Amino acid sequence: MKIIIDAKIPYIKDAIKQITEDVVYLPGNAFTAAAVKDADALIVRTRTTCDAALLQNSRVKFIATATIGYDHIDQQYLQKAGITWKNAPGCNAASVAQYIGSSLLLLERDKKMVLQNLTIGIVGVGHVGKEVKKMAERLGLHILCCDPPRAAQEGPDGFVSLATIAEQCDIITFHTPLSRLGKDATYHVADSAFFASTMHHPIIINTSRGEVIDTTALLTALESHQVADAIIDVWEEEPSINTQLLQRVFLGTPHIAGYSADGKANATKQALDALCDYFHLDYPFHIEPPAPAKELLVATSWKDAFLQMYNPLEDSNRLKESPDKFEFFRGNYPLRREEKAYTIQYQTAL
């Protein structure tokens, strides 16, 4: 069995050896029709578009994407071609929640915002949105949730409309998949009309997909102060991002909100589990990311400790200094562990 794997998928090389030695590692943008022609399976990330142009003359029968998102997967073609595919839902949900939590703590520290007095609107309450909701509860924010597909399926209790989010929220964070068709399409769901309808000069956060927000509309809203500030991790036309927006936002990072080592390990395991399920293989995988450089943190509070674990300002400063290195920063991201990897020793502040 021949498998072609994105070379940037972490913690996979030792585990995959238990299945086959016939493995080829390629950069995500180097998957070509010629390269995959004789492969049985692919394990990819978002930089590889899986469609007819790539697959129609191949023997590929299974594709795993080690990502939550799957807008790079041509579902209609794969179904027609008889190719099974799986994504990794929820794999990095805790990682994104960590990013959001640290970003909110920076707003509290650097913008002097009192989080307990603010309302956060969570647009998209799937695996990631649920974890973000837990983080917002921990920080004491008032929370409104908007998820039209869930509201239609489960009933309206607990959900509000996007219009209500715009009217009532001080912070609005997007956690939707990217969809371009249908009544719940999310492409440019945050457009000029949406920003014009906001009432509290909110801070906008996007860690979902860049195309969920209209870049030009957001820039206009920032310049007119209809929107107070923004935290942007995902961008239209990545990696050729809008540098004007980058320099204008409070935090601008290179699509790494979900890049904790824990989230990456989860994604890799889910991809391998799906591969084994499809090919009826029985291999127990245990994938453990490296320990952090400092497992013991000395802190005055859990908030202090939380920012010691991960401070997104460092990622933002690097990208603002060198926006042309967007892909480099993604591909060479430093080790980031989640809270469970640490022990905290509290001390009284002097």
Ranges assigned E (strand) in the chain: 3-6, 23-26, 41-44, 62-65, 84-86, 119-123, 142-146, 171-174, 203-206, 229-232, 251-252, 296-299, 343-346
Beta strands 119-123 and 171-174, pairing class: parallel
Q: What is the mean pLDDT of residues 278-296?
A: 89
Supply the pTM of this predicted model. Answer: 0.89
41 and 156 share a domain? no
Look at residue 308 and tell me if it is in a domain.
no
Tell me the per-residue pLDDT of 29-87, one tens digit each, with 9 for 90 and over: 999 999 999 999 999 998 899 999 999 999 999 999 999 889 899 999 999 999 999 99
Tell me the per-residue pLDDT of 159-169, one tens digit each, with 9 for 90 and over: 999 999 999 99
The structural domain count of the chain equals 2
73 and 110 share a domain? no
Look at residue 282 and tell me if it is in a domain.
no
37 and 147 share a domain? no
Look at residue 213 and tell me if it is in a domain.
yes
Residue 95 has pLDDT above 80, yes or no: yes
Look at residue 295 and tell me if it is in a domain.
no
Q: Which domain holds residue 126?
A: 93-252
Interatomic CA distance for residues 78 and 95, integer angstroms:
30
Look at residue 257 and tell me if it is in a domain.
no
227 and 100 share a domain? yes
42 and 161 share a domain? no
Tell me the per-residue pLDDT of 205-217, one tens digit each, with 9 for 90 and over: 999 999 999 999 9
**Catalytic residue ranges:** 209, 238, 255
Look at residue 258 and tell me if it is in a domain.
no
12 and 77 share a domain? yes
Contacts of 132 (CB under 8 A, 6+ apart): 96, 97, 100, 122, 173, 175
3-state helix, strand, coil in the chain (%, to 5): 40, 15, 45
Tell me the per-residue pLDDT of 105-137, one tens digit each, with 9 for 90 and over: 999 999 999 999 999 999 999 999 999 999 999
